[in-house]
């Protein structure tokens, strides 16, 4: 299961903090709710594209001794299962959907520039998720007057701050800002006996 690393800062600050396993060690298991601090359980690596970073970051994992399941602590600037940082995705969505730039234009002016298909994929997922975002974010901010859910969701994200909104959505209500990939909906957890996990 993935939860958020309770830390806001740059990629570099995140990397520096990672060496200390006690820094953000969860004091209980979010899966079986045993009230016992989790054990450090190594790292996994994932790629990250941020406005000034394109490389691999480590993500710390902890193990619950009671239920033997792992918990990984994702930094707040990433969305689960997406390579680009939340900032990169937000800048693209604003350029394309609020400022009405063309797909290609928004992709060319994005930091770093990228193939437009990647942005198109985010836009598609964001459109599908917009109504649910408006409903969930109403707990944080006043729904803004807007012609449609896409514009309203963007206005609400801008007023809340994208990272603060992501923290609330992911940690609070297990909602993915762009929607969970198929198979992990509705709460980002793998079904216990999904076909993909079954031994061959």
Binding site for Zn ion (CB under 5 A): 29, 31-32, 64, 66-67
* Cβ nearer to Zn ion, comparing 163 with 171: 171
Helix or strand run (H / E) with residue 49: strand 39-50
CB of 3 to Zn ion, least distance (A): 12
* Cβ nearer to Zn ion, comparing 4 with 95: 4
CB of 65 to Zn ion, least distance (A): 8
CB atoms within 10 A of CB 24: 16
CB of 37 to Zn ion, least distance (A): 11
Sign of CA dihedral 139, 2, 50, 117: negative
Rounded-to-integer distance, Cα 94 and Cα 116, Å: 14
CB of 34 to Zn ion, least distance (A): 5
* Cβ nearer to Zn ion, comparing 67 with 128: 67
* Cβ nearer to Zn ion, comparing 67 with 138: 67
Q: Where are the alpha helices (DSSP H) in the chain?
A: 11-17, 86-93, 103-109, 116-137, 149-160, 162-167, 173
């Amino acid at each position: 299961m993935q939860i958020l690393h309770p830390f806001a800062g740059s990629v570099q600050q995140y990397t520096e903090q990672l060496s200390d396993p006690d820094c953000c060690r969860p004091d209980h298991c979010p899966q079986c709710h045993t009230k016992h601090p989790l054990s450090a359980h190594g790292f996994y690596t994932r790629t990250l594209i941020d406005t000034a970073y394109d490389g691999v970051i480590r993500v710390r994992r902890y193990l619950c001794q009671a239920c033997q399941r792992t918990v990984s602590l994702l930094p707040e600037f990433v969305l689960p299962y997406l390579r680009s940082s939340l900032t990169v995705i937000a800048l693209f969505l604003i350029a394309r959907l609020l400022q009405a730039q063309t797909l290609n234009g928004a992709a060319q002016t994005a930091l770093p520039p990228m193939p437009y298909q990647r942005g198109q994929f985010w836009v598609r997922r964001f459109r599908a998720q917009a109504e649910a975002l408006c409903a969930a974010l109403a707990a944080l901010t006043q729904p803004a007057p807007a012609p449609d859910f896409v514009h309203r969701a963007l206005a609400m994200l801008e007023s809340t701050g994208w990272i603060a909104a992501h923290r609330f959505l992911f940690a609070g209500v297990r909602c993915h800002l762009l929607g969970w990939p198929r198979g992990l909906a509705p709460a980002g957890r793998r079904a216990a006996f999904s076909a993909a996990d079954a031994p061959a």
